Amino acid sequence: MPSAAAERLIGEGLVVLALVAWWAIARGLPEFILPGPLAVARRLAELFVTPDFLWNLFASTWRVLVSIALALLIGGGLAFLAHDVPWLETVVDQRIKPVLNSFPSIGWAILAAIWFEPGDFSVIFVEVAILIPFCLINVAEGLRNADADLMEMGWSFTRSRARMLRRLRLPLLVPYGLSATRIAYGIAWKIALVAELLGAPSGLGYLMLRAQTAADSTTFLATCFAIVLIFMAGERLVIVPIERRFAQR
């Protein structure tokens, strides 16, 4: 289709134009304010073969993954509690959820910096605390939307709660769980990295802060772009395929 090709051409053309504009603006500015795109690209390529950077990248990535898993477990658990134990509904929906949902992320980061030693535990604590409300809201939505007729039919076949959970309730929750994962993944990389600015001796947030205090804008921008690349790679290579797999069923 020619129009699709034209669209694509204009899209890529604008990217090139933006890079050229960046180059033109950066030429007149000192390097610590805005380094040129070539310098940043070179540094980006260098970073990906530096063991120190790769180690920090690995540290951030595994913290993000562990945090998402824990947040899904805790948030999902809270949603199940609110749904299955009527007594606890108010406690979860009107006490725990609003507080976690409105808690400022830097608040967690500072509290963790006061309470814990800098390290993996401190960072994961902050990230999990930031991510829980997103998981809780999505899973609760899934539980509310579970088809009542289907559930009733399920109960007529079995009385076993575990069997019901495995065969019917969890499969019905899969789309909501996936969307929770997707949101948590985005928030984790974009906002929860703040945890690594205050309470971490390693990680990409720590690297960025170090580069910024040293006025090393080239490394700083290269790290920003590295996060963009990793975020997109994770989304394209992991999240989209999983979603497609479950959508086909």
Partner 1 sequence: MTATDIALGRTALRRGRAARRWVGHLFTLAFLGAWEAASLVAPSYLLPGPAQVALRLWSFITSWRDLGHLGASLFHVGAAIAISFMIGTLLALIPYYVPVLRFAIERRLGPFLNAFSAIGWTLLAIMWFGVTPLTVIFTISAVLVPFALVNMSAGLASIDRELVEMAQSLTRRSARMLVLVIVPSLYPFIFATLRIMFGVAWKVTLTAELFGGNSGLGYMINLARQEFDTETIFAAIILIIAFVHSVDQFVLAPLQASVSRHYAS
Name which of 65 and 209 has its Cβ closer to partner 1.
209
- Of 19, 151, 209, 239, the one binding partner 1 by CB under 8 A: 209
Residues in region 70-109 near partner 1 by CB under 8 A: 86-91, 94-95, 98-99, 101-107, 109
Name which of 73 and 85 has its Cβ closer to partner 1.
85
CA 240, CA 6: separation in Å to the nearest integer?
26
- Of 65, 110, 151, 164, the one binding partner 1 by CB under 8 A: 110
Cβ-proximal residues to 104 (8 Å cutoff; 6+ apart), any chain:
none
The Cβ of residue 76 has, within 10 Å, a number of other Cβ atoms equal to 23
For residue 49, the minimal CB distance to partner 1 (Å) is: 22
CA 32, CA 18: separation in Å to the nearest integer?
20
Name which of 34 and 165 has its Cβ closer to partner 1.
34
- Site membership for partner 1, residue 14 (CB under 8 A): yes
Name which of 4 and 162 has its Cβ closer to partner 1.
4
The Cβ of residue 184 has, within 10 Å, a number of other Cβ atoms equal to 27
Name which of 66 and 197 has its Cβ closer to partner 1.
197
Structure tokens at 177: 């769980």
196-201 contacts at long range (C-beta below 8 A, 24 or more positions apart) = 196/60, 196/63, 196/123, 197/109, 198/109, 198/110, 198/112, 198/113, 199/109, 199/112, 199/113, 199/116, 199/118, 199/119, 199/122, 199/123, 199/126, 200/59, 200/118, 200/119, 200/122, 200/123, 201/118, 201/119
- Site membership for partner 1, residue 46 (CB under 8 A): no
- Site membership for partner 1, residue 238 (CB under 8 A): no
- Site membership for partner 1, residue 193 (CB under 8 A): yes
- Site membership for partner 1, residue 228 (CB under 8 A): yes
How many Cα atoms are found within 13 Å in the side-chain-facing hemisphere of 234? 18
- Site membership for partner 1, residue 15 (CB under 8 A): yes
Burial letters 118-127, b for 16+ CB under 10 A, else e: bebebbbbbb
- Site membership for partner 1, residue 156 (CB under 8 A): no
Chain positions contacting partner 1, by CB under 8 A? 3-4, 6-8, 10-12, 14-15, 32-34, 86-91, 94-95, 98-99, 101-107, 109-111, 113-115, 130, 186, 189-191, 193-194, 197, 205, 208-209, 212, 215, 217, 220-221, 223-224, 227-228, 231-232
